[in-house]
Structure 1
């Protein structure tokens, strides 16, 4: 599956001309997504780049699960970061997974949308000097109106980017996270609980 230029940050390892593609459909507030991300980000990617350079590109795909309302807001924040500095998409994604419990249902049930945007922007500012709180927040925030008649329902400056990822997941037939694709086909054998050795065995049979 191709990756539009504006989402270049979603290629978290390898290059577009790699022989193989591993796609990870993940939700930032899904515990199992966090589990597979940690193993891949911390161990699998360095091993791949050292042992099989140029063989595999790894692409992160936003799988937004609406039964967790904050999933949309957290994904928006990651897309805002990518728009500002694509190189920070993966580090910020890692920060989101590390801090994912801050965005679980019970943690945000009494927080407004704007409060959550401010929290996400503050986290971004701790990730890189290129990601100022105000810069990220400016892409996320929505100005309130005095009356319902004034409302436009246009969303924020990230809404169109968000729509792309939702449409992609639906078109591809992805239902839950994590879901992993190998060369465009869903690979049901891959588990979020895999060790590095199991990942090595998988690639040993594929490369």
Structure 2
């Protein structure tokens, strides 16, 4: 990627309907993974013309490589395939979550992993090479935007759900897709 070209992150948005469902995810969180795995089916059930799905990334310090992984996902969103590449990285993390997380958030095999090991795994599992945009300092603006947006909405944990700009503290990753759909369509 040419560093003289302005870096543009493709928003992680699918659908174009009037009801807005925002999901704040930490990619290695098991509950976020559970929620992420339901999003395509939710969008199909409600309809792309009825809802807009927005994924917001919620980096959390107790997930030790959270910042590295979030940055790589956002770097992937700057590539030509944009949000499709970002989604491929999210899916790769979801499918191989244990390889990106620490046992009990403080132990296990990842104690010997370096950030470069994590980046190599992200590339290998997703097939998305986001090394060049990952290394661009201006990507930090996109990382900070996700963080600030969450904080402005009082969101500190993942997954957290918002419908039409209002936090829905009673929605859970364990809910059936039909429950989410009812809430969105209400």
Query: SS state of the match for residue 10, structure 2?
Result: helix
Match of 2:152 among 160, 171, 179: 171
Structure 1 stretches of 4+ moved >3 Å: 6-9
Query: SS state of the match for residue 83, structure 1?
Result: coil
Q: Cα 1:180–1:75, aligned 2, differ >3 Å: closer, same or farther? A: same
User: Are residue 138 (structure 1) and residue 136 (structure 2) matched?
Assistant: no
5+ long unaligned stretches in structure 1: 1-5, 126-130, 142-154
Q: Cα 1:200–1:124, aligned 2, differ >3 Å: closer, same or farther? A: closer
Whether the aligned pair in 2 keeps the contact of 1:118 and 1:137 (CA below 8 Å) is: no
Which protein is richer in helix relative to its size? 1
Q: Distance in 2 between matches of 1:44 and 1:59?
A: 12
Q: How far did 1:64 drift? A: 0.5
Whether the aligned pair in 2 keeps the contact of 1:139 and 1:158 (CA below 8 Å) is: yes
Q: Cα 1:93–1:23, aligned 2, differ >3 Å: closer, same or farther? A: same
Partner of 1:80: 75
Q: How far did 1:63 drift? A: 0.5
Give a deviation string over 1:75-102, Cα, whole Å, max 9, x none: 1111111001213222332222122211
Whether the aligned pair in 1 keeps the contact of 2:76 and 2:85 (CA below 8 Å) is: yes
Partner of 1:46: 44
Partner of 1:27: 26
Matches within 5 A, 1:31-180: 31-41=30-40, 43-49=41-47, 53-84=48-79, 85-86=81-82, 87-105=84-102, 106-125=108-127, 131=128, 133=129, 136-141=130-135, 156=137, 158-180=139-161
Query: SS state of the match for residue 78, structure 2?
Result: helix
Q: How far did 1:172 drift? A: 1.8
Tell me the TM-score normalised to structure 2 length: 0.83
Question: What RMSD, in angstroms, separates the aligned Cα atoms of the two structures?
Answer: 2.1
Q: Distance in 2 between matches of 1:7 and 1:156?
A: 13
5+ long unaligned stretches in structure 2: 1-7, 103-107
Look at both structures and tell me which one has the larger radius of gyration over its CA atoms: 1
